A and B are shown apart, each in its own frame.
Chain A
Amino acid sequence: MIEATRIRKAFGANTVLDGIDLEVGTGEVKAVIGPSGSGKSTLLRCLNLLEAPDAGTIRIEDAQVTAPRISQKEAHALRSRTAMVFQGYNLFRNRTALQNVMDPMVIGRKVPADEARARAQELLARVGISESTQAQYPVTLSGGQQQRVSIARALAVRPHAILLDEPTSALDPELVSEVLAVIRDLASERITLVIVTHEMAFAADVADRVVFIDGGRIVEQGPAREVIEHPQHERTKRFLREELGAP
């Protein structure tokens, strides 16, 4: 379970997160939506401290940090409880697909290589990466394949939650569905997910709850279908109208 309390973050004079509270229960799938620049990606990146919050408390299972004073050790402990899927995949370029999935186990968690290899092969098969593709370097893979490898990499460390930062935004339209199918599969297995996304139909369908952020604050939140199909706030309505292209 993830509990973020009163998270604040500013880049210079620009306040990006203005005291956000976010709670994600174990097994819950939470979608974070909002306009560009609303702070949704920054919020996600604060949860694993890729961005250092200026203030606030983050608790993930038994690890807790309170900004702004966070030691390297605390940060590492918090990060070890989650994994992240990036918009730009960020696979390790000097490692094959298989090594990308093995490394977090072997290097980060000291899992014996044989055991890590077996698990990596299993995870890659699960996201539809064939054995011959597993031996390839990221540069030779399609965007959809890279993102599926990165999801396997995230699963490798058995995280308490996976943070997905616009996982399909960099993909060619015809590759989006293969990645969404994998995420849908994770959701059906009750893996805790926090997804920042522009895929409204997908969010309505897969997420349990949706949080709408604008101007660094939570404007509206609730059960996914309810928020997306019957938004209460004017700003949410306007955003969804623009996003869905509906009249």
Chain B
Amino acid sequence: MDLDPGYMLGVLPELLPYLPVTLLIAVVSMVLAVLLGLVLALIRFARIPVLDQIAQLYISLFRGIPTLVQLFLIYYGLPQLFPAMSTMSALTAAIIGFSLKEASYLAEIFRAALASVDRGQYEAGLATGMTRVQVYRRYIIPQAAFNALPATGNIFVSLLKETSVAFTLGLTEIFAEAKIIASSSFRFFETFLVVGLVYWVMVVVYSWLQQRLEQRLGRAYRR
């Protein structure tokens, strides 16, 4: 068996400079997706007429179309309709694509989390003279956020790995660099194994962070 552990150690420093690109896509997309997902969830939860139907269509479309197709539509398709968009970078397109897609998943997670908060919390807030916005901001959304945390973490973990398809837009993130290195050294197994392990370490670190956050936010709910 021809496996070169020394090569693996050598390839790691070559890959790591591209890690920030991967993290940038994942983190920025996630932040935008959380914001958009929350707006969609609140629209759906409050059943705001017209907007609710638009939100439902949005969620259905972005959950129903493959990620790769969405990315191609945005990066290669939109500039055809709107020539001004032809200056859009692959990074921007990737972030837009991932944000829009993950928002559709998060909207459903957030909606369920909002529904899981006891209605008594809402009534108690109103009955003590707070406005609806105050009640949502102070009690409903924070409690829903705690309930939504495990499922939201899953979305982030899956997004972190899915950023690897951004190479199809010609964006050099860590996986794209691995492909470049492997095709010149012909050490495919070692290179892809190293890049796989880098993703794995990121997920492990993130999972640890999330666990700590759950512990912290969970203080209020533990007997």
Residue in B closest to A85 when the chains form the complex, CB atoms: B127
CA separation between A183 and B142, bound complex, in Å?
32
- Interface membership of A117, Cβ < 8 A: no
> Which one of A83, A84, A92, A153 lies within 8 Å of B121 (CB-CB)?
A92
A–B Cβ pairs within 8 angstroms, 29 of them: A48-B127, A50-B123, A50-B127, A72-B132, A76-B129, A79-B126, A80-B129, A84-B123, A84-B127, A84-B128, A86-B120, A88-B120, A92-B125, A92-B138, A93-B118, A93-B139, A93-B220, A94-B146, A94-B220, A103-B128, A104-B128, A104-B129, A107-B138, A108-B130, A108-B134, A137-B221, A153-B128, A157-B128, A163-B127
The list of the 10 closest CB pairs from A to B, nearest first, reads A90-B120, A104-B128, A90-B124, A84-B127, A80-B129, A108-B129, A137-B220, A108-B130, A94-B220, A94-B142
- Interface membership of B216, Cβ < 8 A: no
For the complex, would chain B's binding face be called helix, strand, loop or mixed by DSSP majority? helix
CB atoms of B220 and A91 under 8 A apart: no
- Which B94-129 residues have a C-beta within 8 angstroms of A? 118, 120-121, 123-129
CA separation between A38 and B55, bound complex, in Å?
41
- Interface membership of A82, Cβ < 8 A: yes
CA separation between A196 and B47, bound complex, in Å?
33
For the complex, would chain A's binding face be called helix, strand, loop or mixed by DSSP majority? mixed
- With A92-B121, A93-B143 known as contacts, the answer to whether A83 contacts B220 (CB < 8 A) is no
- Which A42-94 residues have a C-beta within 8 angstroms of B? 48, 50, 72, 76, 79-80, 82-84, 86, 88, 90-94
CA separation between A72 and B135, bound complex, in Å?
14
Interface residues, chain A, CB within 8 Å of chain B? 48, 50, 72, 76, 79-80, 82-84, 86, 88, 90-95, 103-104, 107-109, 137, 139-140, 150, 153-154, 156-157, 163
Contact with A along B178-206 (1 / 0, CB 8 A): 00000000000000000000000000000
CA separation between A80 and B219, bound complex, in Å?
31
Chain B: number of interface residues, binned into ranges: 20 to 34
Interface residues, chain B, CB within 8 Å of chain A? 118, 120-121, 123-132, 134, 138-139, 142-143, 146, 219-223
CA separation between A93 and B146, bound complex, in Å?
11
